[in-house]
Every structure is written in structure tokens, then in C-alpha cells.
Amino acid sequence: MARITVNTTGTAPHIYLTTDVDSGNIFDGSNANSWLSTTSALDVTCLQDVTITNSTGVFSWTDFCSIDMNKVTTPADNSIETNIVIDPVDFFGNSSAGNTTALFNGVNGLSSNKIEVQFVVVMNGELDTPTANAYYYQGIGYITSVAPTVSPEAPVWVSPMTIAVDGALNSGQVTS
């Protein structure tokens, strides 16, 4: 049985962010290298955990025509939730990058400035050099729930990060 592993070298999950949401260059898994050629892409690394929620709602009702409940689906409320170890560049941005890019703003700037992002979550390896069984989730959304924390028992700054998906949450296998 094939598995999607994350415990070997080169197979850690990655979250890529870009502010390039209107160019029509939305990643679809068929050409990984062209999406990453954008120098403004931010590769959020040092992830502690990742939860991908594809949550289609259901509306239920009863009527006098049936003895059973009736159900119909409602639009999904999708999100990507993770906890990250704070890295100065990933979190606070790179001041030498263009000021409208994800790399310039960092996770904190994208959240506090309410900047829409395109994201790609790769479940197994990097986007530009995918491993076997590399799958992705892709979409557009907003960074929320940023809350850095540290304590004497856990002396490394960490923060939750949620991507509130705006629209569809797409998935597939990464090809190069």
C-alpha cells in the first residue's frame, strides 16, 4: 500500500503563498516550475502540523410528505490550519523583496494587512521538485488566526496560522 509520508528527508509538507492572484497563473499541478518561478512566492516552512478542512455543509428539513429527514448540501466552508515555528523571514517578511509580494509581507503582514493570497499546500515534498506521491491543495484565501506565543517550558516562538479559503479548494497530484 502506498503512503504519503512526512518523516523522511525531502518529504515535509510545504505551504506556498503568493499575492499574485489575478494574473491567471493559478497553480493547477500540471506545471509546478512555472508557478514557482515567481520570485515573490513565500515558502512557509517549519510546520508543526497541518489540518486541511473541506467542510461541505448540509441543510436538513422535514415535511409531511416523508417520514424521513430530507437533506441538501450547502456551500463548503474550507480552511487550512497549521502551527508554525516562527522564522524571521517567513513571519515578518523580507524587506529587500518587492513591497506587494508575499515574501515582503511575511505571514504576519499578509494577515494584518488583509492581503488576499493564492496558496498551494504540498503534502509530500517541495513544489519545484515533487517526490513520488506528492499531492496538493490549492486555492485563494486570507491568512487569519495569527497569534505568536512562547513560554519558559516551550522557549521557541510558535503561532497558529489559518488560511480561510475564498471559493473552491482544489486538489490533485503534483507533476513536474
pTM of the model: 0.86
Q: For Cα atoms 29, 119, 93, give the angle at the middle one, nearest 5 degrees.
A: 130
Mean pLDDT over 79-83 rounds to: 97
Instruction: Examine the pLDDT at 23 and tell me if it is beyond 70.
Output: no
Query: DSSP character for 39?
Result: T
pLDDT band at 117 (very low <50, low <70, confident <90, very high): very high
CA distance 62 to 78: 27
Range name among 24-38, 59-73, 100-114 with the lowest pLDDT average: 24-38
Q: Tens digits of per-residue pLDDT, 127-167?
A: 766 666 778 898 999 999 999 999 999 999 999 999 999 99
Range name among 64-73, 116-125, 150-159 with the lowest pLDDT average: 116-125
Cell of 115: 492581503
Domain ranges of the chain: 14-173
Predicted local distance difference test score (pLDDT) of residue 11: 76
CA distance 93 to 104: 5
Q: Return the CATH fold of 14-173.
A: Elongation Factor Tu (Ef-tu); domain 3 (2.40.30)
